[in-house]
């Protein structure tokens, strides 16, 4: 029963306050707390960045709540990967939270066993070749078999905390370029890594490396029930 109540609060209360997935006009003022987690402050941030019609409000809302909760972040940068969108659309967004602007918008690949054009199945297991949802902190870079790559530290036990063991990193890939969309009607897929177009990999990685937050979102109610970062429903009220 408690899990049902938690799921209801997380999944439906925010939507009852906003029309068609975007904030209503009556909630555009900021707050004085210095964080963005409150609905009013988050809605004002969403508008000030000009994200209406471009970025999924619910995904952005959850990402910002998590960003504010993760105290050991070292950068004022937030990356949102929205797997509710198809692979053929831009669904990776990098935000400068201090300057209040979007720095990058790009396509991004999902794991080969997570789905075709849409990622619908997720796993934390080694050898699953699936993407993992949830919150990550970026770490250091290295030169590997996929070129310039970024180590990701999964923060949520049972959801993505095996990312390092699975070698889930951000890197560039030819198959992640929009030009690679073929007869299958989808972007190429990875072994679970969020792969980006090669021409954008270094600029994106250099912007987000060294302790910034990444949130990988999908319309998966089960994630909200088990998330250690978004477990406090009051943060979404």
* Residue 8 clears pLDDT 50, i.e. is over it: no
| pLDDT recorded at residue 29 | 34
| pLDDT recorded at residue 37 | 62
| pLDDT recorded at residue 76 | 97
| pLDDT recorded at residue 24 | 35
- CB distance 94 to 103 below 8 Å: yes
Residue of 73, 78, 83, 81 whose CA lies nearest to 95: 78
| pLDDT recorded at residue 184 | 84
* Residue 65 clears pLDDT 60, i.e. is over it: yes
What is the tally of helices (H) and strands (E) in the chain? 5, 10
CATH class of the domain comprising 34-236? mainly beta
* 24-33, 57-66, 92-101, 137-146: range with lowest mean pLDDT: 24-33
- Mean pLDDT over 85-110 rounds to 98
* Residue 111 clears pLDDT 80, i.e. is over it: yes
| pLDDT recorded at residue 89 | 98
- Mean pLDDT over 193-199 rounds to 98
| pLDDT recorded at residue 60 | 97
DSSP 48: H
- CB distance 190 to 183 below 8 Å: no
Stated pTM of the model: 0.85
- Mean pLDDT over 127-150 rounds to 98
For residue 97 the two structure tokens come to 């939270």
| pLDDT recorded at residue 183 | 77
d(CA 224, CA 228): 9
Residue 85 burial by CB count (10 A; 0-12/13-18/19+): exposed, middle or buried?
Answer: buried
Residue of 74, 70, 91 whose CA lies nearest to 82: 91
End-to-end CA, the chain: 20
| pLDDT recorded at residue 35 | 65
Q: What is the pLDDT of residues 200-234, one digit of tens each?
A: 999 999 999 999 999 999 999 999 999 999 987 44
* Per-domain residue ranges of the chain: 34-236
- CB distance 138 to 215 below 8 Å: no
For residue 1 the two structure tokens come to 């029963």
- What share of the chain has pLDDT > 70, as a percent? 82
* 23-27, 93-97, 228-232: range with lowest mean pLDDT: 23-27
């Amino acid at each position: 029963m408690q899990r049902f109540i938690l799921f209801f609060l997380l999944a439906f209360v925010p939507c009852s306050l906003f029309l068609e997935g975007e904030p209503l006009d009556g909630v555009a003022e900021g707050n004085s707390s210095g964080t963005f987690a409150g609905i009013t402050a988050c809605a004002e941030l969403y508008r000030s960045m000009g994200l209406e019609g471009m970025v999924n409000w619910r995904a952005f809302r959850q990402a910002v709540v998590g960003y504010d909760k993760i105290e050991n972040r070292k950068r004022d940068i937030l990356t949102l990967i929205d797997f509710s969108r198809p692979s053929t659309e831009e669904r990776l967004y990098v935000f400068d939270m201090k300057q209040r602007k979007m720095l990058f918008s790009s396509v991004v690949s999902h794991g080969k066993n997570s789905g075709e054009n849409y990622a619908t199945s997720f796993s934390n297991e080694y050898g699953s070749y699936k993407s993992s949802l949830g919150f990550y902190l970026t770490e250091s870079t290295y030169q590997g078999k996929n070129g310039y790559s970024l180590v990701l530290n999964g923060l949520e036990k049972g959801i993505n905390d095996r990312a390092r063991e699975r070698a889930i990193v951000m890197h560039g890939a030819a198959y992640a370029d929009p030009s690679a969309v073929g007869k299958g009607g989808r972007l190429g897929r990875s072994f679970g890594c969020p792969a980006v177009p090669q021409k954008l990999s270094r600029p994106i990685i250099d912007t987000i490396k060294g302790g910034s937050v990444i949130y990988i979102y999908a319309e998966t109610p089960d994630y909200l029930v088990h998330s250690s970062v978004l477990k406090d429903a009051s943060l979404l009220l």
